[in-house]
Chain A
Amino acid sequence: MALFYSGEGLRAVGKIIYPAISIEKGDMTFLTGPSGCGKSTYLRMLNRTLLPDQGQLFFEGKALPDYDVLSYRRKVLRIPQEPFLFDGSIQDNFNRYYETAGYSVPYADAIKEALELACLPISILTDCATLSGGERQRVFLALFLSFMPQVLLLDEPTAALDETTATLFFTNLKKHCLVHGITPVCICHQADLVKAFADRVICLGGAQ
């Protein structure tokens, strides 16, 4: 049984119509296709932060509305394209995110580990206002990676990173997912990265 499944004719944001799509457990799946074809929209539907206009999506054989929405989103975690960090240090950000989600604040070691995973081995007390765009994106990625979900949906996670860091990030990510049994689904515009890391590629041709 596929981890995710949606039948042909799934429609969203009024105009995007999708073919039948299935995503297998454990595979590192990449969604590719031209801009505007609905890749990000599909990821949003996958973690139920956007509802389809028509059709249904299924997770482990069960329709998404049958799950409790909050625990489902924690299980199928999407990392948005645009990073958001609060004012304050990296640790403050982890604390604010965890508290808002209703978790107890993470240990310093767990934060450090997440930062290393996101290729940013710096002090957790660093003020986020002093970080560059690429560093902010990596703090944001580290934050989401630390939640240890069952599925990780990544929307252009390396858009603000240079080629070397992007490759290192995907290497770490793939290893991390394999070790912890997490299924990653990524959107990435860099063809060489897709070629190097994808177990499976789903090309959305933009059936509109």
Chain B
Amino acid sequence: MNDSILMQIRQFSIIYVLLLLVLLVMKQCHIDRTKQLLFSSFKMTVQLMLAGFILTYIFGSPNGIFTALYLAVMVGFAIHRVLNQNPGLSLRFKVIIALSILVSGLGILAFFVKVVVRESLLNPQYVIPLGGMLLGNTMNSLSLGIKTFRESLSGQRARVEALTCIGAKAENILRPFLLQGMETAMLPTLNNMAGMGIVSLPGMMTGQILAGSNPMTAIFYQISIMIAICTIVTVSSFAALYFGCRTMYSKENQLITL
């Protein structure tokens, strides 16, 4: 961090000039989203500044409780976002989703920090940014996966009924929908991995290089985080959909509730 280029507030503010370009294009194309653009930019600035102040404080006076609290807020927000974007699920399905994010998120983060990086589990400098990246990706992928599962299943009442009538197991009837949800959840991460280094230099790596790290160190970190993201996305979407599906029928009656 000491070698990084310190941007002065005045210099930093110049980046906002680019937003004028966005506004100009929107005006030319009659896209009436000016308010949204301004609000989103403002909200992002305030949220990140706030996060900056909090992180500066936490890093300045490292305390395990602050790190745990920050992590709890991140997990809570990720769960809230996934559930919020998927209304109409049963309470049991929601609990399964929350547990999938919690267990896979914290488990893989702990493995990454303790086993790979070999740092303390409560070291905020590692746990918070890595946790943010892992949970952020889990949140986006799982939202997409659950949404695809729900949407592909809705309107399939005749299919479910016909297959139930011939004595097919509820698990077998739901499997194609589960796989579709999982594929959708995993696809962005897999695409991202394939294009990495050619199409883009990823954010984490760019940040480290800008902060003065050796590019090879940045690359090792990036590879590790990508594998961790791929694992967490796969594990959490599998757990949420596999165990979530099981809440949709009873083993005894094999009747699927849509």
For the A-B complex with A51-B253, A73-B164, A73-B166 known, give 16 more contacts whose Cβ atoms are closer than 8 Å: A47-B165, A69-B252, A69-B253, A70-B169, A74-B166, A77-B165, A77-B166, A80-B162, A82-B161, A83-B158, A84-B158, A100-B172, A101-B166, A102-B169, A102-B172, A140-B162
Contact between chains at B163 and A100 (CB < 8 Å): yes
7 A-B interface contacts by CB (under 8 A): A51-B255, A69-B254, A73-B166, A74-B167, A80-B158, A84-B161, A144-B165
Task: Please give me the residue from chain A that is nearest to B166 by CB atom.
Answer: A101
B168 adjacent to chain A (CB < 8 Å): yes
Q: A49-B255, A69-B253, A69-B254 are in contact. Are A100 and B158 (CB under 8 A)?
A: no
A79 adjacent to chain B (CB < 8 Å): yes
Q: How far is the CA of A79 from the CA of B162 in the complex (A)?
A: 7
A97 adjacent to chain B (CB < 8 Å): yes
B interface, size bucket: 10 to 19
Which residues of the partner chain B approach A51 to less than 8 Å between Cβ atoms? 253, 255
B residues with a Cβ closer than 8 A to A are: 158-159, 161-169, 172-173, 252-255
Q: How far is the CA of A102 from the CA of B170 in the complex (A)?
A: 12
Contact between chains at B168 and A101 (CB < 8 Å): yes
Task: Indicate which residue in A50, A100, A144 contacts B173 across the interface (CB closer than 8 Å).
Answer: A100
Which residues of the partner chain A approach B252 to less than 8 Å between Cβ atoms? 69
A4 adjacent to chain B (CB < 8 Å): no
Task: Please give me the residue from chain A that is nearest to B165 by CB atom.
Answer: A78
Which residues of the partner chain A approach B168 to less than 8 Å between Cβ atoms? 70, 100-102
Contact between chains at B163 and A49 (CB < 8 Å): no
Contact between chains at B172 and A70 (CB < 8 Å): no
Contact between chains at B167 and A70 (CB < 8 Å): yes
Which residues of the partner chain B approach A97 to less than 8 Å between Cβ atoms? 162-163, 166
